[in-house]
């Protein structure tokens, strides 16, 4: 009994903490649309090689904190067999009150408490059929609305951590399929491959890429973390025009150098493994994984600490990790000319993607903070403490400010108000921000080329 109570006490704060960072419920259909807490999400992926079709059957258990229409998201309009508690229902589209985001709900309101939602959706985005095999990935983007897991399957918003499982079935495959993923991969008795992702993963965390055997050149080795763990690392690439063995050897030594540097600055690597796809262009971070160009490798691995370690809970918090990663890209400069403001944190309440001024103005703000606290260990001392104490706890910009205030023991609200909130628009920075060279936004068509 005591153990049961203890387990309950330990489990409750995690759920409560996630919903604390959820956007506010809003009026919908004479009732309310309510943000919910996903408790578990099982995704059954089936690739039918002869029919050249793929689909996902999802089973999601969630907790509604109050009665209303449960909010989730899924980009595809084509769904079937939608049920709630075993009863047929439909998927509906809704827009946030500020017009900043589009989401989904069900045709049926639910009571407060636990529910099970099921639905099926074709998997058509980033799927390329090869003779007897398939190339498929669930790559994400933080630079547009609805760019996370909801691109492919029903998912919650960034604030919510949930234990996710992929059960992957290849029907009629004549080639062995290789799976690159940042979860625990095992083979089930029925022949399916199961990937279990850690319970602190959110809709922006998971990496999944499958290709027929022999398509990629790869190197596997282990990295000895400063805490003594041997972390399995895989680096892979499409052979193309490169000399793949030489490219892999270079990437391996660069990866080891970068991981050593990051561990020296911020402590043990936060993830149990490292997966790197050198795609030649683009750059997107996942938990302990990245799809990247060689030049962006350091930037993207930094994101395993900031973005996919210290995780933003919403679009208004996404600037923090880009500003930090860009500050590292520029060699951690301290101080320098700095003025004006950029509204990176005070945009629409329901916005779900990162403001691109993070790479330029945000980077300069980090230099400025580093200079301001030079006599207190600079900005890195705060970042080290956040990594140590707040990893995997989705944060808002307001959390970041309060963590900084606690660390440096000064009030920082006024500085942040001036630099990163709406009022900052009166400042001088009004031009459209430039594309980041380290974090280039790729279209679905461009991503398709990299499968
Ligand atoms: Zn980035």
Domain 217-309, CATH class in plain words: alpha beta
How many CB atoms within 10 Å of residue 397?
Answer: 21
Q: Tokens for 117? A: 């939602």
C-alpha 34 – ligand 1 centre gap (Å): 31
352 alpha carbon – ligand 1 mean position (Å): 16
Mean pLDDT of the chain: 92
Give the residue among 390, 177, 178 at the shortest CA–CA distance from 266.
Answer: 390
CA–centroid distance, residue 252 to ligand 1 (Å):
21
Q: Measured in angstroms, how far is the CA atom of residue 140 from the centroid of ligand 1? A: 12
Give 431 Cα–ligand 1 centroid separation in angstroms.
20
Fold topology of 2-214: Immunoglobulin-like (2.60.40)
Ligand 1 centroid – CA 39 distance (Å): 29
Specify the residue for token string 């628009």. 425
Element (H, E) at 11: helix 2-20
Ligand 1 centroid to Cα of residue 302, in Å, is 8
Ranges for all domains in the chain classified under CATH 3.30.2010.30:
217-309
Query: Which residue has 């099926």 as its token pair?
Result: 120
Residue 128 has pLDDT above 50, yes or no: yes
Q: How far is the CA of 383 from the centre of ligand 1 (A)?
A: 16
Mutual angle of helices 397-408 and 378-390, in 10-degree steps: 120
| Distance from the alpha carbon of residue 325 to the mean position of ligand 1, in angstroms | 6
Amino acid 272: pLDDT: 97
Distance between Cα 74 and ligand 1 center (Å): 24
Number of C-beta neighbours around residue 99 at 10 A: 9
Q: Cite the DSSP H helix spans in 96-186.
A: none
Residues 24-36 pLDDT 10s: 999 999 999 999 9
For the stretch 249-287, pLDDT in tens is 999 999 999 999 999 999 999 999 999 999 988 789 999
Locate tokens 């809704």: which residue? 94
pLDDT tens digits, 191-215 = 999 999 999 999 999 999 999 999 9
Distance of CA 275 to the CA centre of its chain: 15
Which two three-digit tokens encode residue 42? 């099982």
Say yes or no to pLDDT of 1 above 50.
Answer: no
CA dist., res. 139 & res. 149, Å (int): 8
Count of Cβ atoms closer than 10 Å to residue 187 Cβ: 9
Q: Is the pLDDT of residue 11 over 50?
A: no
Q: Contact 192/169 with Cβ under 8 angstroms?
A: yes
CA of 356 to the centre of ligand 1 (A): 10
Categorize the per-residue pLDDT at 434 as very low, low, confident or very high, splitting at 50, 70 and 90.
low
């Amino acid at each position: 009994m005591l153990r049961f109570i203890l387990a309950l006490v330990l489990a409750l704060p995690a759920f409560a903490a996630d919903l604390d960072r959820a956007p506010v419920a809003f009026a919908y259909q004479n009732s309310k649309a309510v943000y919910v807490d996903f408790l578990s999400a099982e995704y059954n992926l089936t690739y039918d090689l002869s029919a050249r079709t793929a689909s996902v059957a999802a089973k999601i258990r969630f907790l509604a904190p109050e009665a209303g229409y449960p909010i989730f998201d899924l980009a595809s309009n084509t769904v079937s067999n939608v049920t709630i508690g075993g009863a047929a229902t439909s998927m509906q589209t809704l827009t946030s009150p500020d017009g900043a985001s589009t989401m989904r709900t069900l045709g049926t309101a639910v009571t407060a408490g636990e529910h099970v939602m099921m639905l099926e959706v074709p998997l058509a985005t980033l799927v390329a059929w090869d003779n007897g095999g398939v190339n498929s990935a669930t790559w994400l983007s933080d630079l547009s609305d609805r760019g996370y897991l909801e691109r492919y399957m029903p998912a919650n918003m960034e604030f919510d951590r949930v234990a996710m499982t992929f059960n992957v079935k290849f029907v009629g495959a004549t080639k062995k399929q290789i799976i690159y993923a940042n979860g625990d991969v095992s083979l089930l008795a029925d022949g399916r491959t199961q990937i279990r992702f850690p319970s602190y993963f959110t809709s922006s965390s998971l990496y999944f890429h499958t290709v027929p055997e022999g398509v990629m050149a790869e190197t596997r080795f282990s990295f000895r973390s400063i805490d003594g763990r041997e972390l399995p690392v895989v680096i892979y690439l499409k052979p193309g025009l490169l000399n793949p063995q030489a490219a892999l050897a270079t990437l391996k030594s660069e990866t080891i150098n970068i991981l050593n540097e990051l561990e020296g600055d911020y402590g043990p690597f936060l993830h149990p493994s490292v997966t790197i796809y050198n795609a030649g262009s683009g750059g997107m971070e996942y938990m302990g994984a990245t799809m990247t160009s060689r030049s962006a490798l350091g930037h993207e691995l930094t994101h395993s600490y900031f973005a996919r370690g210290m995780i933003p809970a919403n679009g208004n918090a996404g600037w923090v990790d880009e500003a930090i990663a860009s500050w590292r890209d520029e060699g951690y400069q301290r101080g320098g000319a700095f003025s004006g403001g950029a509204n990176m944190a005070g945009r629409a309440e329901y916005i779900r993607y990162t403001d691109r001024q993070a790479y330029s103005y945000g980077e300069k703000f980090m230099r400025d903070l580093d200079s301001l606290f030079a006599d207190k260990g600079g900005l890195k001392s705060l970042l080290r403490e956040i990594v140590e104490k707040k990893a995997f706890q989705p944060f808002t910009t307001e959390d970041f400010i309060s963590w900084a205030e606690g660390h440096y023991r000064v009030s920082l609200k006024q500085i942040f108000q001036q630099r990163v909130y709406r009022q900052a628009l009166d400042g001088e920075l009004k031009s459209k921000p430039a594309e980041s060279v380290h974090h280039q936004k790729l279209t679905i068509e461009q991503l398709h080329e990299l499968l």
